[in-house]
Structure 1
Amino acid sequence: MGIVRWLFDAQLVIGDQTVLWREVIGNVFGLLSALGGMRRKVWAWPVGIAGNALLFTVFMGALFDTPNPVNLLGQAGRQVMFILVSVYGWYRWTHRADEATTVLEPKWASWRSRALLVVALVGGTAVLTPVFRALGSYEPVWSDAWIFVGSLLATYGMAKGWVEFWLIWVAVDLVGVPLLFSAGYYASGLMYVVYGAFTLAGFFVWMAQGRKPSAAPVTVG
């Protein structure tokens, strides 16, 4: 119980700003998970789940009595979603009938799947924005909804092994950075800047893998 209490109580004071260590550690776990995902390693999923659990307690600031009482319902909700989808991804990556290793071969999504992803991102944001607003999420609420829906789709795309999932993360990061800084979640905002560069690099790495002769003819829908 000592480590749990430390995670909940430990704070880092920078000037007049207070940052929770669990926000820092949760984001580091998220970065490690992204690194593992870029290298197509199965361990990326459990590491990500641990980070998601920590960050959920951070973004529900009022509920968990943190120094920052701002609730970002989309950010908190996506941590729960990450855990659920990550369990699916973890299972999928470890139960591939055609793979004897723990490395995933990237695939390009079909044009139909790409169109459905765009429709789901825009439509899901439109549907959830009034819901999050009614629940008291931080303004601009559409940003919180965009991040939630985009994160769901990106994680699903990663589980499917689609190269395009990295581009969804880029779209999430572009909206997430200004939202997190404006809400006072500076550690997460800085990490989103790192994620933005990292997701672009990840896209090009997976794109190169997807163009290899063994993977190029494969599209999944």
Structure 2
Amino acid sequence: MDFLQWLFEARIPVGNGSLLLREVVGNVFGLLSAFGGMRRRVWAWPVGIIGNVLLLTVFLGSLFGAASAANLLGQAGRQVMFIAVSIYGWRRWRASRDHGGQAVEPRWAGTRARLGMVSFMIVGTFALTPLFRMLGSYEPVWADAWTFVGSLLATYGMAKGWVEFWLVWVAVDIVGVPLLFSAGYYASAFMYVFYGAFTLVGFFVWARAQRAEKPRIETLLPDPTLR
């Protein structure tokens, strides 16, 4: 209990202010998860889940911290979503690896899936904005909804092995960074700036890996008894 109390209350002095230690640690775990995802390592998923749990307590600020702390329901809700989708991705990658293949083989989503992703981002943001506003999320609420929907889509795309999921993260960061700065979550905002550049690197790494994947060739001779 003493450790948990210290973890929830500990702060890192920065200039005239301070940062929550668990916010910094949660984002470090998130960055490690992204690095593992870029390398297509199964451990990326459980590492990410640890970071999600820590950040969930951060973005529900008034429940786990000061009463005046801003609640970012989209940011908090996406941590719950991350955990659920990460369990799916973890199982999918591990099953692929256990069957003798790579944890995931990068592939392009295709035109139909890309149109579906764009539609999902726009419709999902419009649908969730009034709900998040009713629940008291931080303004601008549409930005909070955008980061939630985009994060759901990007995590699902990573589990499926779509190269485009990295670009979805870029779209999330473009909106999420100003939102986090305005809400006072500076550690997360600075981490997202770095993470935005990292996702571009990840996109090119996966695109190159997709081009390098060799098609599987059947090497067994046909059984003449089956003719």
Map Cα deviations across residues 80-138 of structure 1 (whole Å, 9 max, x no partner).
Answer: 00000000000000112884155422111121111111100000000001111111111
Q: Hey, what's the Cα distance between the residues in 2 that align with 1:68 and 1:18? A: 16
TM-superposed deviation, 1:71: 0.3
Which residue in 1 is equivalent to 2:62?
62
53 and 168 in structure 1: CA distance in 2 versus 1, 3 angstrom threshold: same
TM-superposed deviation, 1:7: 1.2
Q: Hey, what's the Cα distance between the residues in 1 that align with 2:103 and 2:110? A: 22
SS at match of 1:108: coil
Which residue in 2 is equivalent to 1:204?
204
Q: Does the Cα contact within 8 Å between 2:62 and 2:70 map onto a contact in 1?
A: yes
Percent of residue pairs bearing the same amino acid type: 66
TM-superposed deviation, 1:6: 1.9
TM-superposed deviation, 1:203: 0.2
SS at match of 1:211: helix
Q: Hey, what's the Cα distance between the residues in 1 that align with 2:213 and 2:32? A: 29
Q: Hey, what's the Cα distance between the residues in 2 that align with 1:2 and 1:157? A: 39
TM-score (norm 1): 0.93
97 and 32 in structure 1: CA distance in 2 versus 1, 3 angstrom threshold: closer
SS at match of 2:151: helix
Q: Does the Cα contact within 8 Å between 2:33 and 2:47 map onto a contact in 1?
A: yes
SS at match of 2:212: coil
Pair 1:174 & 2:174 matched: yes
CA RMSD of aligned residues (A): 1.7
Q: Hey, what's the Cα distance between the residues in 2 that align with 1:101 and 1:110? A: 23
Map Cα deviations across residues 32-64 of structure 1 (whole Å, 9 max, x no partner).
Answer: 000000000000000000000000000000111
Higher relative CO (CA 8 A, sep ≥ 6), structure 1 or 2? 1
TM-superposed deviation, 1:13: 2.4
Matches within 5 A, 1:130-209: 130-209=130-209
Q: Hey, what's the Cα distance between the residues in 2 that align with 1:14 and 1:91? A: 40
TM-score (norm 2): 0.91
Q: Hey, what's the Cα distance between the residues in 1 that align with 2:45 and 2:159? A: 10
TM-superposed deviation, 1:12: 1.5
Structure exhibiting the larger radius of gyration computed from Cα positions: 2
Q: Hey, what's the Cα distance between the residues in 2 that align with 1:129 and 1:74? A: 9
Q: Hey, what's the Cα distance between the residues in 1 that align with 2:150 and 2:89? A: 16
TM-superposed deviation, 1:17: 2.2
Matches within 5 A, 1:66-77: 66=66, 69-77=69-77
TM-superposed deviation, 1:66: 3.6
